[in-house]
Every structure is written in C-alpha cells, then in structure tokens.
Amino acid sequence: MKLDDAPVPNPVVVLREESDDWAILFNPDTSAAVGTNPVGVEIWKQADGTRSLRDIAATVARRFSNVPEGASGEVLSFADELARDGFFGVAEGAEG
Amino acid sequence: MSDAVEDGSVPPLGTIYCYLTEGCNLACRHCWLAPKFDADGSGHAVLPVDVFEGVVREAKPLGLSSVKFTGGEPLLHPRFGDLVEIASKAGVSVQVETNGLLCTPETARLIAGAPRPFVSVSIDGADAATHEWLRGIAGSFDKACRAVRNLSEAGLAPQVVMTLVRENMGQIEAVVRMAERLGAGSVRFNMVEPTARGADLGRANALPGVEELVAAGRIVDSDLAARTRMSLHFDIPQAFRPLGRIARSDESCGILTILGLLSTGHYALCGIGMQVKELVFGMAGKDNLSGIWRGSRVLGEIRAGLPQRLQGVCGRCLMNSRCLGACLAQNYYRLGSMWGPYWFCEQAEEQGLFPSTRVGGTV
Ligand code: SF4
C-alpha cells in the first residue's frame, strides 16, 4: 500500500473489541484473526475507503499521545499486514 | 555437526526439562507428579551425572540452549553442583524450580555463576500456616523465604511461584508484597492441574473454580500488575488473558521445543512420563537422542497436529496457534487423547465464561 491509498475494510471482517481497548479482527469466512492495540483499532475504524492512510496517520497522531507526528511508516506497515491477510482492500481511484 | 536439525518439520530441541530426583523433601497436597517423600535425597532414584552429561552432548547439535532442573526437588540431587558445571561448560542456560529448602547462599552463588540463570521458588502463602498447610512440612515457609533472599543477594532476580488453592486465594496481593520485600523479580500464579495429588485436591473441593480463577486473573493482569515493580504472570489459558498483556510477553507453550528427561534416565514428553507410560520415548545412553527427537511417533504427531487437530473449544479458539491447547500432557492424562479440549476452557465454556471474542464463528 502507499500513503495515498484509501484502505477499504473487508465487509465480512468483524471488529471484536475487548475491555482493555484492544480488539480482535476476525474473518468468519477464513477464521483468520489478528489482535490489535487501540491505535490499530482506530486505524480500522477510520478506514472507510475515502480516507487516505496519510489522513488516517494524522488522525491517530492527534488522538494518541504515544503516537508521534511522523508515525505514518507504522500505519503503512500495519495496513500492509492487514492487506496481506485479506482484511483490507484499496479503494479504486481514491488517490489524493 | 551431522546431527544438526535441518528438516523444517523438526524444530530445534531448545530445552530439556530434567526431573533430577524421584523423591522430594516436601509432601505437597497438589503435586501433579506425586514424588515419593525423601527427607535427604538418599532414598530414591536420582539422574546419574554421566547420563546427564551424555544427554547434553547429544542435544547440543539438536539446538539445546537451556536445561530446566526440576523434580521431585532438584537441590536434593547429591551432585547438583556437577550438573550445573556440565551445563555451564556446554554454554547452556540453567533454570531451576525449587521449593527452596536447600537453597543456601553457596547454592545460590553456584547457580548465579551459570549461563543466563533463572530460579523459581514455590511459596504458597504470605504466612507459614498457609504455605505449610499446602506443602506439608513445618519450617518450610521460613526456608523458602530465606532461599529467595539468598538468590537475590547472589545477584539473581528469583521468581516466586504461588500455587492457587481455596485456602490461599485471599493472599494474592500479600504474596506479591512479600515477594517484593524478599527481593524477587517476578511472581507467577499457577493453577493446580487435576493430575495425581492435584486430582485428589479437586475431589476434596479444595480448589478454586474456573470463575474464581478468571476473576483473580483479571485483578492480577489489569490492576495488581500496574502496582508493583515486579512482573506478574497469572498462568491461565491465553483466551482469558488481556491481549495487551499477551503482546508484551513472549510466553507461549514450549511443547514443540522441549523434551523431558526423568530421574530414571527415560526420555518423555515431560514429567507426565512418571504417570503415563505411553508418553515415555526411550532411555538416555541407550537410545540415540537424535533418533528420538526426529523419529518419535508421538512427537511427530504433535508437530503435524498442532493446532488443527485440537478438539472442542480448543479447536474453535482463536488463540490456539499460540496457546497450543494449554497442556497436551494434561489432556492425555484426563482423556486418553492429547487433542483435548483442555479441562479449564471446557469447563469455562460449559459455564458460559469463555470469552466470546476469542472463539471462531459469529457472536
Ligand atoms: S481453548 Fe484451548 S487453545 Fe484456547 S486458550 Fe483454552 S486451552 Fe488454549
């Protein structure tokens, strides 16, 4: 993925939030599951096919005191991981 | 290095659990191995030093990086120092699980001189009455506390291990505070496995139920852990542990990379070999270790079958590739099948306590 890509969540994937603000993303079709911290949860919630990863990185940097301004690299690698495992796709023509 | 493990389906043999003595100088009510009582280590089988030396030599090319000395009671071994020296010369890290009765300042220094040493001492209450109710021998509480101090003064960060029974459930925080004062580096809380004497305790209604354990684990993980400088580990199946705590620890079952060595010289899955003969694989010194590690039918089945052959709730659990079914030895003891389900999670599911976020399917 690139920073200008707008990730689209796989519609079958369910976000299962837990009491400590971590969560599990679960794909019932494949039984694939991935655990994620509160920052990852926010990235998942922001991803709606219109927001670019660059915008999402800026949002999480504003909302989480432990995420530095230039953390787009971490956001990108998290999104890549989710895309590789079929949790994210990329919106067609959502560049910019 | 002709024995070096190269086949991708055979993992390295990372750790050997060495059950050094058949006897033990305590008579714990919950012991899952039920060793014979032996006040001074003279009455029962101990692992011969030359057998241990040969095993280390054979295991090094298979990937051996650590040995765990346990028992019975490992410090009852009359040549414990020689065993530490052999491991040290091989550059193998030394872990010791002890009741502390024989852990003098000299023994503590001996262990501290080994590569990457780690020692855990069992203390089951914040006072002598509670600890000794479980451990069966008067005076054992003071000696265990002194052992932790000795280890700490020798430069180690010993772990206090508290085994949870109904009798001591109210003392969890008190044990943490006591461990801090004694100079421990961590505290681990263990559940009693319903094996051997542990099964008797369960029948006598002396063990906390699944619900109590889940609640206690939650308090330890999400409250107490933040209020101590020590690391705390509540030994409960992974489905019940907060994801954040799991992510910060690298704990997962080592079953794929460990082998047991019993005091009789037999290789086994782990100490369960003392109870279940089908999980004994051969004899050190007589049978070739590389052949056992690569060719044992049981080990091969475990490698090929985990986690997809796990049954019941373990088969549906989203943590199963990390947890690996909690304890295959315990499953075998209880059900005659390694694939479970593990008793704790099965009971939790029956009681509606299994976390719905951690199980496959729609919730
Ligand atoms: S259900 Fe089985 S695999 Fe899952 S946490 Fe419990 S014991 Fe482990």
* Phi, psi for residue B155 in degrees, rounded to 5: 100, 5
CB within 8 Å of B134: residues ≥ 6 apart: B28, B29, B30, B124, B125, B163, B165, B167, B168
The span from the first CA to the last CA of chain A, in angstroms, equals: 14
Stretch A69-85: mean pLDDT: 87
Instruction: State ipTM.
Output: 0.82
Q: What is the pLDDT of residues A12-29, one digit of tens each?
A: 999 999 988 999 999 988
What are chain B's domains? 3-256 (3.20.20.70)
Phi/psi for A57 (5° steps) reads -60, -40
Please tell me the predicted confidence (pLDDT) of residue B4. 44
The residue in chain A having the minimum alpha-carbon distance to the alpha carbon of residue B222 is: A20
Q: Which atom of ligand 1 is nearest to the CA of B313?
A: 1
| Residues in chain A, total | 96
Q: What is the pLDDT of residue B1?
A: 37
Does the pLDDT of residue A92 top 80, yes or no? no
What 3-state DSSP class applies to B119? strand
Q: Where are the beta strands (DSSP E) in A1-96?
A: 7-9, 14-17, 23-27, 32-36, 88-90
Tell me how far apart the alpha carbons of residues B325 and A33 are, in angstroms, rounded to a whole number. Answer: 17
Contact B124, B100 (CB under 8 A): no
* pLDDT (0 to 100) of residue B3: 42
Residue B363: its pLDDT value, please? Answer: 46
What domains can be seen in chain A, in order of their start residue?
7-87 (3.90.930.60)
Neighboring chain B residues of A27 at a CB cutoff of 8 Å: none
Q: Give yes or no for residue A60 having a pLDDT over 60.
A: yes
Helix (H) / strand (E) element for A39: namely helix A38-46
pLDDT at B41: 57
Q: Taking the model in full, what pTM does it have? A: 0.88
From B322, B342, B346, B347, the mutation candidate for ligand 1 (largest count of ligand atoms within 8 A of CB) is B342
Distant-in-sequence, close-in-space partners of B262: CB < 8 Å, separation ≥ 6: B19, B47, B268, B271, B273, B274, B280
Q: How far is B357 from chain A (nearest CA, A)?
A: 6
Which residues in chain B show pLDDT less than 50? 1-4, 363
Mean pLDDT of chain A: 88
Amino acid type, B150: N
Q: What residues in A contact B355, CB-CB < 8 Å?
A: 18
Compare all CA atoms of chain A with the CA of B321 and give the residue at the minimum distance: A33
| pLDDT computed for residue B148 by the predictor | 98
Cα–Cα distance for residue pair B233/A22, rounded to 1 Å: 19
- Identify which of B81, B82, B94, B117 has the alpha carbon closest to the alpha carbon of residue B16: B94
Determine, for residues B243 and A26 on separate chains, whether the beta-carbon distance falls below 8 Å: no
Q: Would you say B54 and B2 are in contact if contact means Cβ atoms under 8 Å apart?
A: no
Which of B80, B326, B61 has its CA nearest to residue B190?
Answer: B326
